[in-house]
Structure 1
Amino acid sequence: MFAAEDLAFAYNGTPVLRRVSFQLGAGELVCLLGPNGCGKTTLLRLMLGLLTPAAGRLLVSGRVAHALSRPEMARRVAYVPQLHHIPFAYTALEMVLMGRAVGASVFGRPAQKDRDIAQAALERFSIGHLAHIPVTRLSGGQRQLTMLARALAQQAEALVLDEPITGLDFGHQAKFLAILQELCAEGHTCVMTTHCPDHALWVADHVLLLREGQVVADGAPRAVVTRDNLSRLYDADISVFSMNETIRVCIPDRIGRSGPDRTSSQDVARPINHEARRPQ
């Protein structure tokens, strides 16, 4: 679905990406990991055809990304941005309908078919009842599910997601990741950036580690998300533990480990005496 061949990019002469090469297959859930400023967002913008490489090529379904027209790119790739403030009080349905308008004429009006597809996308993520609620009144998790529904309504082959679950509570993170797995099982390719290596261990089929503009590791999660790789990537000692045959977690060594030997009287939960807190 995506392929990079000796890709390079620079802003005002300052190199951001250098000799980046990889191949991402159809139906894969791909996690892109790396420290701040390593070039993750720039790489996503190249995948969306929004930037032109200084050298090399970025291919989308065998076509040069930046050479695709807007409608051609819209049929191939949909974008889910980071959770952000939306200043206008569009309803959730109107926001999702914008996904149907990508690549279309600015003078076009949504047909009933478009409205049906948009509503179905909201229903898919169990937020159909929010269709006529302004997005400014939705919770962070609901807004991000709305943005995912907008991308789904676009009916593109792949989704590119820039830190899509940053700021979401644990429950919404789990729901969002499960939905991405479902979409990939249906044949979509999903490429997401994240600052949490655990996400890659939990759901990814393919992981790219990016540091100082270069891919330093690329492949299956169990081969890539290791103590040595993560410690070099983030310049911190990080351990990877296996909980069972399927669950693995990452823990920074400096935080330490909890256990029976770390338990003190301060760690024991006590019931709150609400009676004692009543004003006299």
Structure 2
Amino acid sequence: MILEIKDAACGYGSRTVLSGLSLDIHSGEILCILGPNGVGKTTFFKTILGFLKIKGGEISIDGENIQNWSRRKLAKIIAYVPQAHTPPFPFLVKDVVTMGRTVHLGMFASPSKNDIAIAERAMELLEISYLKDRIYTEISGGERQMVLIARALTQEPDFLIMDEPTSNLDFGNQIRVLEQINRLSKTGLGIIMTSHFPDHAFLCSTKVALLQRNNKFIVGSSEEVVTEENLQSAYGVNVKIATTIDKDGSTIKSCVPLLS
């Protein structure tokens, strides 16, 4: 399956934030979107999800324009993982995860045994089954993020959109979430994620889109896009791309800021 964005223009009302953006994401690929605040990353997500009407161009799945799809139809194909949040009610983790089945249920239907089994499999896949009887508001930020991912997986989507999945997480939990993202892509999910950390593009991405101010953007592999010159242009800071050799001999790249 392929999600294609062709010459897309996105924005609010009469204001266009992005225009002329073209890229695609296939099943099993990870697209990491980088860029400073205010360049349109969230606007782009909202347009794909149908919260904002596309202002130009086309978004299609397997060649079919999704502009006129219903929210329910779109939610069966694309799931969304927001930044970790605290709900107003103290639901159990297993109930939060099972809420992902809502898109497959009738208006007044309750989750079936099959729906509950799907939710349990999602928790098992993410290795968070031990949390299922805990209260969502009482678990850690990293655990909440895993719960939100599990909830999205219970939709049984083909594509997963993740808005800064490591936001507000400590270093260890950031790495754990990134490891799970890599694992999920290997199951065939197409994943689009945003990040404020260019290193994440080296750690888990097939493609990178670097959005800059004044409607500039670069799309390509992490080696092509995440360069010292491009990061300086996008963020206005000096950066050195360092290379480390892993214990198995593989090369790992990272971004080191150069403080003045």
Q: Say if 1:74 and 1:103, in contact at 8 Å, map to a contact too.
A: no
Match of 2:255 in 1: 250
CA distance in 2, matches of 1:142, 1:106: 30
Match of 1:141 in 2: 142
CA distance in 1, matches of 2:177, 2:208: 18
Task: After TM superposition, give the deviation of residue 139 of structure 1 in Å.
Answer: 0.6
Within 5 Å, give how 1:1-280 maps onto structure 2: 1-212=2-213, 214=215, 216-244=217-245, 245-254=250-259
Task: After TM superposition, give the deviation of residue 152 of structure 1 in Å.
Answer: 1.0
CA distance in 1, matches of 2:215, 2:34: 12
CA distance in 1, matches of 2:26, 2:125: 25
Aligned to 2:259, what secondary structure does the other structure show? helix
Task: After TM superposition, give the deviation of residue 27 of structure 1 in Å.
Answer: 1.0
Aligned to 2:7, what secondary structure does the other structure show? strand
CA distance in 2, matches of 1:213, 1:96: 40
Task: After TM superposition, give the deviation of residue 103 of structure 1 in Å.
Answer: 4.9
CA distance in 2, matches of 1:191, 1:98: 22
CA distance in 2, matches of 1:6, 1:170: 37
- Tell me which amino acid in the other structure corresponds to 1:248: K
Task: After TM superposition, give the deviation of residue 65 of structure 1 in Å.
Answer: 2.7
RMSD between superposed Cα atoms in Å:
1.5
CA distance in 2, matches of 1:246, 1:67: 45
Task: After TM superposition, give the deviation of residue 75 of structure 1 in Å.
Answer: 2.0
CA distance in 2, matches of 1:28, 1:214: 25
Question: What TM-score does the superposition give when structure 1 sets the normalisation length?
Answer: 0.87
**Larger radius of gyration between Structure 1 and Structure 2:** 1
Q: Deviations over 1:50-70 (max 9, x none)?
A: 221111112233222331122
Tell me how many residue pairs correspond in the alignment. Answer: 255
Gap regions ≥5 residues in structure 1:
256-280
Aligned to 2:10, what secondary structure does the other structure show? strand
- Tell me which amino acid in the other structure corresponds to 2:14: G
Aligned to 1:223, what secondary structure does the other structure show? helix
CA distance in 2, matches of 1:171, 1:2: 32
CA distance in 2, matches of 1:203, 1:141: 18
Q: What percent identity do the matched residue pairs reach?
A: 36
Aligned to 1:66, what secondary structure does the other structure show? coil
Aligned to 1:43, what secondary structure does the other structure show? helix
Q: Deviations over 1:12-47 (max 9, x none)?
A: 322211111112222101100010010001111111
Q: Say if 2:76 and 2:103, in contact at 8 Å, map to a contact too.
A: no
Task: After TM superposition, give the deviation of residue 184 of structure 1 in Å.
Answer: 0.8
Q: Say if 2:6 and 2:22, in contact at 8 Å, map to a contact too.
A: yes
Q: Say if 1:91 and 1:131, in contact at 8 Å, map to a contact too.
A: yes
Q: Say if 1:47 and 1:60, in contact at 8 Å, map to a contact too.
A: no
Q: Deviations over 1:107-151 (max 9, x none)?
A: 111000111111121122221121121101111011110000011
Does the C-alpha gap of structure 1 residues 17 and 213 become closer, same or farther in structure 2, counting only changes over 3 Å?
farther
Task: After TM superposition, give the deviation of residue 213 of structure 1 in Å.
Answer: 6.3
- Tell me which amino acid in the other structure corresponds to 1:49: G
CA distance in 1, matches of 2:85, 2:144: 9
CA distance in 2, matches of 1:46, 1:59: 12
Q: Say if 1:29 and 1:184, in contact at 8 Å, map to a contact too.
A: yes
Q: Deviations over 1:172-222 (max 9, x none)?
A: 111111111111111110100000000001111110011136352111111
Question: What TM-score does the superposition give when structure 2 sets the normalisation length?
Answer: 0.93
CA distance in 2, matches of 1:227, 1:164: 24
